[in-house]
């Protein structure tokens, strides 16, 4: 099947092109971008008219817990440890795989509606989660969060290994190994998890240096810096995605930069839980690949990457009291091509280029509330809301067109189910 997206203004995120955006027709053949041209006149099966609209690579959310949608915006006035210990973990313990199916399904729809086409997820209840991901046809880098503490730890590892084997070669699904963090997993556990990464050639995704007290704890426990400790554990021999990285010393930045490490920053979650503002400007100077995550909705409020892009840009400008240290285009890179690099998917996604998979979104910026668009890139990063996301395409498949989902899902029924889960699990907390 040949689909053509006609007459749109394309922000390709392809640094090899001269312009940051240009009028281009995009030809998609069997899910792959086969042509980018000024006025396509060839054959087609379907045309999508993008006149006066903007086309962008699908956004890549590099740190999610898709199953946490029912904890949305529950972080007010709570620091990280209190929030986890009192608000999240006691409730999560009662969640079933079926619960996680519904909560993940809600997150997948939120992503499609807000323009995210790939997530890098870690959670539990993997059976339910994977079912939701596959049903909604979003691209996923997936894992089972390994916490070590679990009494069924060994069993979980075996289950996870089976999961990887069963799902090899799928178009929309790849895996990472995800120890929860150095502060929740023992050294022995971490060494055990590292073996899985070696066995299956998988990247490792984990929480890292989320707040200052975590860093202090690691230094005390390992008698060395967090990055050096990771190195000693063999983790820097793997492709590594470190979520948060709010506090990284200059010396540790250099260690990380000399290996295949990406920092997935979660600015909104860090603000909400009082973890502080990561020094991304310095990380970038030192050569670390920076990508963007929302974290779960509990601490990050939502999965709308546009909101998170706006915040991360503004924060660095504020931190330095200098608006020239970062910019809208840098942030757009974090949410697209840098994310693809972090997830080992740069040959497939992250930019609109011939030969890549057709993961892209179409934005309509013509509503009065955000009119006019004077500087396109700044407008996209700072003023786009979910209702500006018009169409979402993953792997060439149109999952939403003109704001209407094309996948089969009964949104009202889903919300009812979510409501029931909350009633059961969170009644005491919901007041």
* Chain positions contacting a second copy, by CB under 8 A: 69-79, 106, 109-110, 113-114, 211-212, 268, 270-277, 301-302, 304, 310-311, 314-315, 317-318, 320-324, 327-328, 366, 368-375, 377-379, 382-383, 385-387, 411, 414-415, 418-419, 422, 426, 429-430
What is the CB neighbour count within 10 angstroms for residue 163? 17
> Is 109 or 173 the residue whose CB approaches a second copy more closely?
109
CA 267 to CA 276: how far, in whole Å? Answer: 8
> Is 41 or 374 the residue whose CB approaches a second copy more closely?
374
What are φ and ψ of residue 200, in 5° steps?
-105, 5
> Is 238 or 382 the residue whose CB approaches a second copy more closely?
382
For the bound state, the minimum distance from the C-beta of residue 137 to a second copy, rounded and expressed in Å, comes to 16
CA 33 to CA 36: how far, in whole Å? Answer: 8
> Is 23 or 195 the residue whose CB approaches a second copy more closely?
23
Query: Rounded to 5 degrees, what angle do the CA atoms 359, 361, 366 make?
Result: 170
CA 254 to CA 288: how far, in whole Å? Answer: 8
Whether the Cβ atoms of residue 144 and residue 160 lie closer than 8 Å to each other: yes
Whether the Cβ atoms of residue 109 and residue 136 lie closer than 8 Å to each other: yes
For the bound state, the minimum distance from the C-beta of residue 177 to a second copy, rounded and expressed in Å, comes to 31
> Is 72 or 156 the residue whose CB approaches a second copy more closely?
72
For the bound state, the minimum distance from the C-beta of residue 298 to a second copy, rounded and expressed in Å, comes to 9
> Is 113 or 348 the residue whose CB approaches a second copy more closely?
113
For the bound state, the minimum distance from the C-beta of residue 413 to a second copy, rounded and expressed in Å, comes to 11
> Is 153 or 213 the residue whose CB approaches a second copy more closely?
213
Give the dihedral of Cα atoms 252, 253, 254, 260; nearest 10 deg. 110
For the bound state, the minimum distance from the C-beta of residue 382 to a second copy, rounded and expressed in Å, comes to 5
Residues pairing with 404 in the sheet: 401
Whether the Cβ atoms of residue 409 and residue 340 lie closer than 8 Å to each other: no
CA 344 to CA 355: how far, in whole Å? Answer: 16
Query: Rounded to 5 degrees, what angle do the CA atoms 232, 237, 241 make?
Result: 100
For the bound state, the minimum distance from the C-beta of residue 405 to a second copy, rounded and expressed in Å, comes to 9
CA 386 to CA 363: how far, in whole Å? Answer: 10
Whether the Cβ atoms of residue 342 and residue 352 lie closer than 8 Å to each other: no
> From residue 93, how far is each of 126, 131, 185, 269 by CA, in Å?
14, 20, 18, 22
> Is 178 or 392 the residue whose CB approaches a second copy more closely?
392
Instruction: Quickly list H helices, 122-266.
Output: 126-136, 153-166, 187-200, 212-222, 226-232, 250-257
For the bound state, the minimum distance from the C-beta of residue 212 to a second copy, rounded and expressed in Å, comes to 7
For the bound state, the minimum distance from the C-beta of residue 110 to a second copy, rounded and expressed in Å, comes to 5
> Is 274 or 287 the residue whose CB approaches a second copy more closely?
274
For the bound state, the minimum distance from the C-beta of residue 323 to a second copy, rounded and expressed in Å, comes to 4
Helices 97-114 & 126-136 angle (0-180, nearest 10): 30
């Amino acid at each position: 099947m040949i689909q053509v997206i006609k007459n749109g203004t394309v922000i390709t995120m392809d640094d090899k092109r001269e312009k940051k955006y240009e009028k281009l027709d995009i030809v998609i053949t069997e899910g792959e971008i086969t042509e980018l041209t000024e006025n396509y006149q060839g054959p087609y099966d379907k045309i999508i008219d993008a006149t006066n609209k903007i086309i962008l690579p699908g956004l890549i959310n590099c740190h999610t817990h898709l199953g946490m949608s029912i904890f949305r915006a529950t972080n007010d006035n709570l620091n990280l440890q209190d929030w986890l210990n009192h608000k999240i973990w006691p409730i999560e313990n009662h969640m079933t795989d079926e619960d996680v199916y519904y909560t993940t399904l809600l997150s997948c729809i939120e992503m499609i509606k807000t323009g995210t086409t790939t997530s890098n997820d870690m959670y539990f209840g993997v059976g339910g989660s994977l079912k939701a991901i596959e049903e909604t046809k979003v691209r996923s880098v997936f894992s089972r969060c390994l916490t070590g503490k679990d009494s069924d730890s060994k069993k979980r590892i075996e289950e996870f290994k089976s999961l990887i084997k069963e799902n090899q070669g799928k178009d929309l699904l790849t895996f990472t190994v995800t120890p929860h963090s150095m502060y929740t997993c023992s050294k022995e556990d971490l060494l055990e998890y590292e073996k899985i990464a070696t066995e299956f050639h998988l990247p490792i995704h984990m929480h890292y240096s989320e707040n200052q007290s975590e860093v202090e704890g690691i230094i005390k426990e390992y008698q060395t810096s967090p990055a050096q400790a990771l190195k000693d554990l063999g983790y820097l021999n793997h492709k590594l995605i470190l979520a948060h990285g709010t506090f990284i010393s200059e010396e540790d930045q250099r260690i990380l930069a000399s290996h295949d490490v990406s920092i997935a920053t979660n600015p909104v979650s860090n603000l909400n839980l009082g973890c502080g503002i990561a020094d991304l400007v310095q990380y970038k100077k030192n050569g670390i690949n920076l990508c963007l995550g929302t974290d779960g909705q509990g601490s990050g409020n939502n999965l709308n990457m546009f909101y998170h892009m706006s915040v991360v840009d503004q924060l660095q400008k504020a931190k330095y009291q200098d608006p020239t240290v970062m910019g809208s285009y840098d942030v757009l890179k974090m949410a697209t091509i840098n994310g693809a690099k972090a997830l080992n998917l740069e040959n497939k996604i992250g930019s609109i280029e011939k030969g890549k998979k057709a993961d892209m979104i179409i934005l309509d910026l013509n509503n009065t509330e955000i009119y006019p668009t004077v500087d396109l890139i700044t407008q996209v990063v700072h003023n786009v809301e979910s209702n500006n996301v018009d169409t979402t395409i993953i792997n060439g498949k149109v999952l939403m067109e003109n704001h209407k989902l094309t996948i089969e899902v009964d949104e009202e029924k889903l919300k009812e189910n979510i409501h029931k889960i909350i009633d059961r699990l969170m009644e005491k907390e919901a007041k």
